[in-house]
């Protein structure tokens, strides 16, 4: 069997151009010199190592990025790991302080009387006759309430001699009309007691008076003291109404003193005097005559 060619077949001879070469000529270039030579293929093992290292680095970077985002923003089922000292989140948008505020005991605790060492009152000024020590809404005769206690009580001592009792600085219970918890000082001559208000700077002010049979000392000259209009201890309720005809008189129940009277101005309604009585009947009698309470009156 022989090979046959078609009439149009032109066989290609790859060595045709080399047939005319002699031994002194250079071989023609088999490749285009302008085309760069291809890099030699890398080792498959080295390539695998490089790819593996890249994957490890990318995995570590992704893990750190995700962990950092969870710590800063929080995720479902997690909460921030840091919070302001003393504060806890109680609900969305609200913050409650769990640290107790310090208590300023100086604003709630009354002053300790043991820390208030007050000098004794001494006689001063000119004496006042007993008949002139009339009981008024704002004075004991010429001695005005709201004035310096060393001077005003000193004048009472000059008029009535040494007091029967001086309580010194004590914490008020409100029983004598000063503000409960304040520091007061009660000075007494028989049934007459004067109330001295002691401020934090130890300033002493004559705040009021009370004339009361329950204080004792019936034989004391102060038992005969009268009001400007002539009311005195032991007068009947009928006498009280006759003396203060034209004024407003109310009879009230008191939690501590039981029955009391209140004498008020018919024009202004202001309280002028008050005190305990045995009863509101006409046969009842006056047991005490008080000035208006000192609490807040001269502060």
Q: Say which range, 6-15, 53-62, 186-195, 202-211, has the weakest mean pLDDT.
A: 6-15
Per-residue confidence (pLDDT) for residue 80, from 0 to 100: 38
**Residue 175: CB partners within 8 Å, gap ≥ 6?**
256
In a domain, 211, yes or no: yes
In a domain, 45, yes or no: no
In a domain, 103, yes or no: no
Q: How many domains does the chain have?
A: 1
Q: Say which range, 52-56, 95-99, 211-215, 264-268, has the weakest mean pLDDT.
A: 95-99
Per-residue pLDDT band for 28 (boundaries 50, 70, 90) equals low
In a domain, 285, yes or no: yes
In a domain, 223, yes or no: yes
In a domain, 201, yes or no: yes
Per-residue confidence (pLDDT) for residue 117, from 0 to 100: 84
SS3 279: coil
In a domain, 168, yes or no: yes
- Chain position carrying tokens 């085309």: 35
Per-residue confidence (pLDDT) for residue 19, from 0 to 100: 56
Gap between the Cα atoms of 139 and 146, Å rounded: 9
**Residue 212: CB partners within 8 Å, gap ≥ 6?**
191, 193, 275, 276, 287, 288, 289, 290
* Interval 23-50 mean pLDDT: 54
Gap between the Cα atoms of 148 and 199, Å rounded: 12
* Residue 210 belongs to domain spanning: 113-290
In a domain, 231, yes or no: yes
DSSP 120: P
Gap between the Cα atoms of 156 and 192, Å rounded: 11
Highest mean pLDDT among 25-29, 88-92, 121-125: 121-125
- Decide if pLDDT at 119 tops 80: yes
Per-residue confidence (pLDDT) for residue 87, from 0 to 100: 38
Quick one: how many helices (H) and strands (E) in the chain? 3, 13
Nearest 10 degrees: Cα torsion 137, 255, 266, 141: -10
Which pLDDT tens digit goes with each residue over 134-190? Answer: 999 999 999 999 999 999 999 999 999 999 999 999 999 999 999 999 999 999 999
Which pLDDT tens digit goes with each residue over 68-117? Answer: 444 444 433 433 333 333 333 333 333 233 333 434 433 445 556 656 78
Per-residue pLDDT band for 118 (boundaries 50, 70, 90) equals very high
- Decide if pLDDT at 292 tops 80: yes
């Amino acid at each position: 069997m022989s090979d046959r060619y078609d009439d149009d077949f032109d066989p290609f001879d790859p060595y045709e151009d080399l047939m005319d070469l002699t031994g002194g000529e250079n071989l023609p270039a088999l490749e285009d010199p302008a085309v760069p030579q291809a890099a030699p293929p890398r080792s498959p093992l080295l390539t695998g190592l490089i790819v593996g290292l890249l994957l490890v680095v990318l995995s570590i970077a992704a893990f750190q990025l995700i962990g950092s985002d969870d710590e800063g923003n929080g995720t479902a089922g997690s909460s921030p790991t840091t919070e302001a000292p003393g504060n806890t989140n109680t609900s969305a948008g609200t913050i409650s302080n769990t640290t107790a505020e310090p208590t300023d005991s100086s604003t709630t605790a009354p002053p300790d009387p043991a820390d208030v060492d007050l000098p004794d009152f001494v006689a001063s000024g000119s004496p006042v006759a007993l008949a002139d020590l009339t009981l008024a809404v704002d004075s004991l005769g010429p001695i005005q309430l709201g004035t310096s206690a060393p001077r005003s009580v000193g004048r009472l001592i000059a008029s009535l001699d040494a007091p029967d009792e001086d309580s010194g600085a004590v914490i008020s219970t409100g029983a004598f009309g000063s503000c409960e918890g304040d520091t007061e000082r009660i000075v007494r001559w028989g049934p007459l007691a004067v109330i001295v208000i002691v401020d934090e700077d130890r300033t002493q002010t004559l705040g009021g008076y009370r004339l009361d049979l329950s204080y004792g000392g019936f034989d004391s000259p102060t038992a005969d003291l009268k009001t400007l209009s002539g009311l005195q201890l032991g007068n009947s309720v009928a006498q009280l109404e006759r003396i203060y005809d034209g004024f407003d008189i109310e009879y009230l129940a008191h939690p501590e003193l039981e029955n009391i009277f209140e004498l008020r101005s018919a024009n202004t309604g202001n309280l002028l005097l008050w005190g305990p009585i045995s009863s509101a009947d006409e046969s009842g009698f006056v047991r005490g005559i008080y000035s208006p309470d000192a609490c807040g009156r001269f502060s």
